[in-house]
Structures are given as C-alpha cells and as structure tokens.
Amino acid sequence: MNRRGVAMAVTSAAMVLAAGCATSGGKPETRPGQHEQTFAAKVTAQVELKYLLYLPEEYGSSKKKWPLILFLHGAGERGDDVQLVAKHGPPKLVAAGKQFPFVIVSPQCPTWEWWPNGTQVAALDALLTDVAARYRIDKNRIYLTGLSMGGFGTWKLATEFPGRFAAIAPVCGKGDPGKANLIKDLPAWVFHGVKDPVVPVAHSKDMVAALKQCGSDVKLTLYPEAQHDSWTETYNNPELYDWFLQHQRGEKK
C-alpha cells in the first residue's frame, strides 16, 4: 500500500431532522382552502465520500498514535475523481514528495454538493469517526483546515462539533459570527487575501472580531496583495503545522 496517498471510500448513515415542531401523522385537514401545516420526521441519508489518506513513513513501524489533519478542498475540486483533491493544500505537497508528521485525510465533496450543508457535515463527522477507529489516531490532536468552500466547511464543522478538534485553520472562508461563542475556546488561525474578489476578506474579519468579543485569542493573517489564492502561501508555511502541534484538545489556555 502506498502510504503517501491512498484513495479510499467510506459509507455511513447520517441522521438529519426535517424542519417542524409536531410529529408526523395526526388528523388530516378537512377544511377547504389553504392552511399552514407542520411535518417532522427523522430521515436517514446514505453518504459516500472518496478521500486521499496519507500515512507518515514511520506509521507501519511504530505503535504510537498520530495527530490527524482533516483537509477540505475548494469548490473546483468536487466530483468523482479523487485525485483532483491533490490540486492544492497538503495533498498537493504530499504528491510532490513532502513528508508530514500527521495522518492527513483529504475527502472529496460530491458534485453539486457543498461542504457546509447538513448532509456533508454529518458525512465528515462520520468519516472522522471511521478513520479514528481504524487507524492509530490521537483523538486529542485532530486538526481541521480548508480553503474557500473548504474554509466555509471548516467554520461550519467546527461550530457543529467544537469538542472534536484541537485547532482549526480556515483559509478564505466564511463562518457565522452568531455562533462564535461555540468555538471561543478552540484555537483558530485564520487566513485571507485582502484583494480576494470571490470570498470578501470581510467575512474572515467579521468572524475574527466576533471571536475576540467572546474572549478568543484567535490569530488572523492577511496577505495584502493576495486575491483568492491565499492558500498556497498558507500551506507552504511550516509554521502552520508547528502551530497545529502546539495544541491538543482539552488543554488549559
């Protein structure tokens, strides 16, 4: 097995709730005309994600548990050719021969899907659970990062499952400032290009401001001349990976 990058797939059931307050069923409406109704039910979605898996060179010869990076790609790498995921970020560096002291999981978002939507968020959570169960993963050192659509997904996944991650690094993404309090204790390093014409830098600034209002010591790096590609410089910077390793889940700040 090639430990540098292995294409694999995981299938799991994701539970989602339909909108509404009442239970399904009940007495049917008999009055003529149009009336407001409510429906609620639990539904199960079958999901499948292809992903690239990187294992460090020493993984097979050591019994230690390894830190893990979950990397979420941008919208341009969606589809069913998992090698597209290696276009940017850590999987690109791995493909070029770089070695990391992490297990790296780089899933591919299906065509026409969006990382922050409910089904994909549930699928990513299930994928992490599966990988952590089958590989020697230090569950206190799981890190999350992504670019563009993956930056959106990083903020969303972190606010949905804040207790799962040791640190996050969203790149040119957008979060919900109204949920900043949910991740105020989660170390975050945010990156964005000041001249980004696709995802305005204001989205990162707003999220960072909301986190600081909650008492977070969030870090923000802005690239004054960068447009949408703020990820190449970010992922080429060894300080990011050193910063990840400085954090573990549950540590006192």
Are the C-beta atoms of 82 and 7 separated by less than 8 Å? yes
Are the C-beta atoms of 71 and 241 separated by less than 8 Å? no
- Nearest-angstrom CA–CA distance, 71 and 139: 16
Q: What is the mean pLDDT of residues 22-48?
A: 78
Prediction pTM value: 0.86
Structure-derived torsion over alpha carbons of residues 201, 51, 89, 86, reported in degrees to the nearest 10: -120
Q: What is the pLDDT of residues 132-191, one digit of tens each?
A: 999 999 999 999 999 999 999 999 999 999 999 999 999 999 999 999 999 999 999 999
Q: What is the pLDDT of residues 105-134, one digit of tens each?
A: 999 999 999 999 999 999 999 999 999 999
At 25, the pLDDT band (50, 70, 90 cuts) reads low
Report which residue type is found at 6: V
DSSP one-letter string for 101-157: SSEEEEE-PPTT--TTSHHHHHHHHHHHHHHHHHTTEEEEEEEEEEETHHHHHHHHH
- Nearest-angstrom CA–CA distance, 131 and 137: 8
Topology, domain 6-12+47-245? Rossmann fold (3.40.50)
Q: What is the pLDDT of residues 148-158, one digit of tens each?
A: 999 999 999 99
Residue 248 has pLDDT above 50, yes or no: yes
User: How would you label 189-209 residue by residue, b for 16+ Cβ within 10 Å and e otherwise?
Assistant: bbbbbeebeebebebbebbbe
